[in-house]
């Protein structure tokens, strides 16, 4: 019998799940209140990476002098409106591509807000009521529901965004002029990416970090390397500073006040203090779906919630807030729900990147886990400074780090800090996913000269260590 599936949320978790559902012959409806592709495509991941790509042109030009080229960029003004127009256009056209693909696959799409509406919890059939954007309501009867509603910027009570001077990251692309002095509150991945991007555009940036280091959840050496670059580029980092208040000043700027009374004055403030899951008003509690204290939906590794027939995927769950993970959770939910063979999600194999200059990419276990004794492994750090390709490209910083099991040499993690770390991490991710060893990696050919040569070289160093043991 054809399964009837309703997916609430059309981001990577929702649309990837819908495509799998349709492929396996289910009758799929996706309910989305913004646009297909969700926040990932319209407001978060895609626009930020498009913006960063534009700012990266300036980074590359900075090296031109060192290479004997003397382009005169001082007289070329940055057309900030054009930069932002391009970003918005890219996001909208990607959203349209997702919508067109879903249409081709025969997926029904409804624009509006969905909520679970089971009149009698515990039954096999579920009901989703949609408040349609065009007006009116529709209730859909179905066998399976996937909740994929994502998350929204966390708002500090003392720092209410006004879209002009006090901004969330989603409002940056509406600015008509470049900020003179941007104060970025929060030093997680989102904060670091915008600090780096605006710095590359030549904007004065101050970063307000709640701890004594930036990127507290990333590899410490990588975070230190980035901090060094940011300081060298003129960024001020205010540490151990929790922001309590952000307000407009009489001259049109902003005043950021920390809990210990420190004050930072700037022209604009960008608040990047994390996200909250979009899980209220969905009727989840009424049907008995277990939630965490933070409001995330509890799921297992095949995306099941505590209620049969209701699955959840992506940023509304408590796994790993990445588009790639959301998409994988969504696909896994459908394979499982439709009785296809499925492997539970393996978070240790997730590769992720921070798109700063330089980029930071990681996969597998962390050095912190090794140092704490939680994981037993050997570590090799190989600086890029000696790499011939890095010298040719005038790259002074960056490194490759590999972690392998002590006896077997199996690769269980790695970190790359380089301009293209997000691309260079793949061979290490392949090793981690497929349980390959340093010998496998060391015996693979890398191109000469290439930055990836440092990855095979790091593996060779770990092998040499094996020989001595």
Ligand X SMILES: NC(=O)c1ccc[n+]([C@@H]2O[C@H](COP(=O)([O-])OP(=O)(O)OC[C@H]3O[C@@H](n4cnc5c(N)ncnc54)[C@H](O)[C@@H]3O)[C@@H](O)[C@H]2O)c1
Which DSSP category does 395 fall into? -
Of 156, 220, 245, 463, the residue at the interface with ligand X (CB under 6 A) is 156
Binding mask 215-234 toward ligand FAD (x if CB under 6 A, else -) reads --------------------
* CA distances from residue 188 to 68, 215, 351 in whole angstroms, order as listed: 36, 5, 17
150 near ligand X, judged by CB under 6 A: no
Contact positions with ligand FAD (CB under 6 A) in 325-354:
326
Which token pair is 54?
Answer: 């534009």
Of 55, 199, 272, 362, the residue at the interface with ligand X (CB under 6 A) is 272
Contact positions with ligand FAD (CB under 6 A) in 296-325:
314-315, 321-324
Measured between alpha carbons, how far is 422 from 363 in angstroms, rounded to an integer? 11
Q: How near is the Cβ of 256 to ligand X at its closest, in Å?
A: 9
Measured between alpha carbons, how far is 456 from 438 in angstroms, rounded to an integer? 8
Which token pair is 392?
Answer: 């040719």
Stretch that binds ligand X, among 120-128, 132-140, 336-344, 346-354 (CB under 6 A): 346-354
34 near ligand FAD, judged by CB under 6 A: yes
Measured between alpha carbons, how far is 363 from 348 in angstroms, rounded to an integer? 7
Residues near ligand FAD (CB under 6 A), total = 36
Of 10, 11, 14, 188, the residue at the interface with ligand X (CB under 6 A) is 188
Nearer of residues 213 and 301 to ligand X, judged by Cβ: 213
Residue 402: phi and psi, rounded to 5, are -125, 145
| 218 binding partner (options ligand FAD, ligand X, none; Cβ < 5 to 8 Å by kind) | none
8 near ligand FAD, judged by CB under 6 A: yes
Measured between alpha carbons, how far is 178 from 270 in angstroms, rounded to an integer? 13
Report the DSSP beta bridge partners of residue 266: 254
**Is cis: bond before 358, omega within 30 of 0?**
yes
Report DSSP letters for 98-143, one per residue.
HHHHHHHTT-EEEEEEEEE--SSTT-SSEEEEEEETTSSEEEEEES
237 near ligand X, judged by CB under 6 A: no
Report the interface residues with ligand X, using CB under 6 A. 156, 185-191, 193, 208, 210, 216, 242-243, 272-275, 321-322, 352-355
Q: Would you tell me which residues interact with ligand FAD (CB under 6 A)? A: 8-14, 31-34, 38-40, 44-45, 48-49, 113-114, 148-151, 169, 190, 278, 282, 314-315, 321-324, 326, 355
């Amino acid at each position: 019998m054809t399964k009837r599936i309703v997916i609430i949320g059309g981001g990577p978790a929702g649309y990837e799940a819908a495509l799998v559902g349709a492929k396996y012959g289910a009758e799929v409806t996706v309910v989305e209140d913004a646009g297909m592709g969700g926040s990932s495509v319209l407001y978060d991941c895609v626009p930020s990476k498009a913006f960063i790509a534009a700012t990266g042109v300036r980074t590359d030009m900075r090296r031109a002098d060192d290479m004997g080229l003397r382009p005169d960029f001082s007289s070329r003004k940055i057309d900030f409106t054009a930069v932002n127009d391009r970003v918005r256009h890219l996001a909208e056209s990607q959203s349209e591509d997702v919508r067109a693909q879903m249409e081709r696959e025969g997926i029904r799409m409804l624009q509006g807000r969905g909520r679970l509406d089971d009149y009698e919890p515990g039954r096999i059939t579920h009901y989703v009521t949609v408040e349609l954007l065009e007006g009116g309501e529709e209730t859909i009867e179905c066998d399976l529901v996937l909740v994929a509603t994502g998350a929204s910027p966390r708002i500090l009570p003392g720092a209410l965004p006004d879209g002009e001077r006090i901004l969330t990251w989603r409002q940056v692309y509406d600015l008509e002029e470049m900020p003179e002095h941007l104060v970025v509150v929060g030093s997680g991945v989102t904060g670091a990416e915008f600090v780096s991007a605006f710095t590359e555009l030549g904007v004065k940036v101050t970063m307000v970090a709640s701890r004594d280091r930036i990127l507290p959840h990333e590899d410490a050496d990588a975070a230190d390397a980035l901090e060094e670059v940011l300081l060298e580029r003129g960024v001020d980092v205010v540490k151990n500073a929790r922001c309590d208040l952000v307000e407009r000043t009489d001259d049109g700027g902003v005043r950021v006040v920390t809990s210990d009374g420190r004050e930072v004055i700037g022209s604009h403030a960008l608040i990047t203090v994390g996200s909250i899951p979009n899980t209220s008003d969905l009727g989840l509690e009424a049907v008995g779906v277990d939630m965490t204290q933070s409001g995330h939906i509890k799921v297992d590794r095949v995306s099941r919630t505590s209620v049969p027939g209701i699955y959840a995927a992506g940023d509304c769950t408590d796994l790993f807030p990445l588009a790639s993970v959301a998409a994988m959770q969504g696909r896994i939910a459908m394979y499982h729900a439709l009785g296809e063979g499925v492997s539970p999600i393996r978070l240790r194999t997730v590769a992720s990147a921070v798109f700063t200059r330089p980029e930071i990419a990681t996969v597998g276990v962390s050095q912190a886990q090794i140092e704490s004794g939680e994981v037993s492994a050997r570590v090799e750090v190989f600086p890029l400074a000696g790499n011939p390709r890095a010298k040719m490209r005038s790259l002074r910083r960056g490194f490759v780090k590999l972690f392998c099991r002590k006896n077997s040499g199996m690769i269980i993690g790695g970190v790359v800090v380089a301009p293209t770390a997000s691309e260079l991490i793949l061979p290490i991710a392949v090793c981690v996913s497929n349980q390959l060893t340093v010998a496998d990696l060391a015996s693979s050919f890398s191109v000469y000269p290439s930055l990836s040569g440092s990855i095979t070289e790091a593996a060779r160093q770990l092998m040499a260590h094996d020989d001595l043991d």
